[in-house]
Amino acid sequence: MTCVSDLPNLLPAVLIWLMHFKCSMSQREFNKTIIIVTDYNFSTMNYPDYNSSIDYDGYVELCVKESNRQFRSWFMPTFYSIICFLGLAGNLLVILTFFYFKRLKTMTDVYLLNLSFADLLFALSLPFWAANSMTEWVLGLVLCKAMHTIYKVSFYSSMFILTFISVERYFVIAKAVSAHRYRTQAVFLSKVSSAAIWMMALIFSIPEMSYTTINNNTCTPYSSNYDKLRVKIQASQIVLAFALPLLVMSICYSSIIQTLCQARGFERNKAIKVILAVVAVFLLCQMPYNLVLILNTVVTANGGTINCNYENMYLYAIDVTQCMAFLRCCLNPFVYAFIGVKFRRDLLKLLKDLGCLSHDWFIRFTRGRRRSSGATDTETTTTFSP
C-alpha cells in the first residue's frame, strides 16, 4: 500500500498517466484535471475539496495550433518547391545570357546580374525552408544558421539592388544630360556600389548569424513568438528593406513618369506601363508580408497577447504572405530582364545556340521587333524597354 508520504513522489507518474489519456478528454477537461492534480498541498497533506464549485475560467487554456501545423505541412513545401524551380530557371537564364554575350556594358546590366545572383542564392535555400516547415529540424546548427543568414543576405541585397536600379534609371531618363557625363565611369561605379550593397547586406544579417539556434526542434532566431529580439529584427527589416526602398522607388519612378509624359511616341506608353508593372509587382509581393510584420511587431512590443484566435490567424497570415514575398526571386527576371527588347533577343539567340529553339521559331519570335528609342532604352537592356 502506498503511504501518504509517498504521494509527492507519485506526482510525475500521475501526470504521465494523464498524458496517455489526454486523447480521450476534451481540452477543458484535461486542463481541469491537471489543475486538480498539481494543486494539492503535499507539504501539509491538506487536500482541497474538489467536489465544491470551483471557477476554472481564470485559468489559461493551452492554445491548440494543430490545424496550422497541418496547413503548413503541405502549403509551405508546395509553394517553396514552385518558387525554387521558377527562381532557379529564370535567374540561371539571366546569368547565362549575361556571360554568354558578355553584356556588362551599363550600370543596369551590372545591377541585374547581381540581382540574379541574389535571387538564385535565395532560391537555393528554399529546400531547407521547406524541410524546416514540415518536420523537426535535424540538419544541425551550422546549416540552421546558414539558412537564415543566406536568406537575409539575399533579401537585403535584392531590396537594395532594386532601389539602386530605380536611382540609376532616374538619372539615365530624367537626368539624361548629367548622366551622360559619367557614362564612361558608369560600369565601374556600378561594380563598386554592388560590392557595397553586398557588404551592407552582410552587416545587416549579423543578428541572424548570432541569434539563430535550434529552439523546440525548430530552426529560428527567436526564443518564443514574443521574444523582444523579434521586435528589433523585424522593425529594422521593415524600415531598411521595405519602407526605405519603397520611398526611393516612389520618388524616382514618379519623376521618370513625369519625364516620359513630356515625350511623344508609342514607346513612351510602353515604358510607363513597364514602370507601373515594376511598382505593382513590388507592392503585391512585399506589402502584405510587411503589413503582417508591422502588426506582429506592435503586438510583441506591447508584451504580446494570450488571444489564441489571434495567434492562429497570425500564423496563417504570415505563412501565406511570406510565400507571396518569396515570389520576388522568380518574378524579378521577368520584370527587370526578360522585358527588355535586346535581352529578349539575346535570350532567344542563346536558346537557339543551345539547340532549345529552332531557327524558324527564332525568326518568328524576333520578327517585327525593333529596339526602343534613346528615351527609353540604352545600348543594352533597360528596365523600361518595351
Does the pLDDT of residue 342 top 80, yes or no?
no
Mean pLDDT confidence for 165-189: 83
Q: Which of 117-126, 157-166, 355-364 has the lowest mean pLDDT?
A: 355-364
Mean of all residue pLDDT scores within the chain: 79
The pLDDT of residue 23: 46
Three-state SS for 219? strand
Residues 334, 335, 337, 340, CA torsion sign: positive
| Banded pLDDT at 58 (limits 50, 70, 90) | low
The pLDDT of residue 369: 53
Orientation of helix 341-353 relative to helix 359-366, angle to 10°: 170
Does the pLDDT of residue 240 top 80, yes or no?
yes
The pLDDT of residue 383: 45
Task: Find residue 213's DSSP bridge partners.
Answer: 220
The pLDDT of residue 84: 94
Instruction: Give the model confidence (pLDDT) of 293-328 as tens digits.
Output: 999 898 888 887 778 888 889 889 999 999 999 998
Instruction: Give the model confidence (pLDDT) of 90-100 as tens digits.
Output: 999 999 988 88
Residues 227, 233, 238, 239, CA torsion sign: positive
The pLDDT of residue 37: 44
Q: Please tell me which residue, 252 or 372, carries the higher pLDDT value.
A: 252
| Banded pLDDT at 190 (limits 50, 70, 90) | very high
The pLDDT of residue 252: 94
Say if CB 292 and CB 313 are below 8 A apart.
no
Can you give the pTM of this predicted structure? 0.78
Does the pLDDT of residue 278 top 50, yes or no?
yes
Integer Cα distance of 253 and 167 in angstroms: 9
Integer Cα distance of 211 and 206 in angstroms: 9
Does the pLDDT of residue 3 top 60, yes or no?
no
Structural domains for the chain: 1-49+56-62 (no CATH), 68-366 (1.20.1070.10)
Integer Cα distance of 265 and 260 in angstroms: 10
The pLDDT of residue 149: 92
| Banded pLDDT at 166 (limits 50, 70, 90) | very high
Q: Please tell me which residue, 146 or 265, carries the higher pLDDT value.
A: 146
Q: Please tell me which residue, 181 or 351, carries the higher pLDDT value.
A: 351
Close Cβ partners of 332 (under 8 Å, ≥ 6 residues apart)? 90, 91, 115, 116, 119, 158, 162
Say if CB 153 and CB 205 are below 8 A apart.
yes
pLDDT > 90 fraction of the chain, expressed in percent and rounded: 32
Residues 377, 380, 384, 386, CA torsion sign: positive
Integer Cα distance of 131 and 77 in angstroms: 8
In sequence order, which ranges of 170-227 are alpha helices (DSSP H)? 176-181, 186-204, 206-211
Integer Cα distance of 380 and 101 in angstroms: 11
The candidate with the shortest Cα–Cα distance to 157, out of 203, 116, 198, is 198
Q: Please tell me which residue, 214 or 103, carries the higher pLDDT value.
A: 214
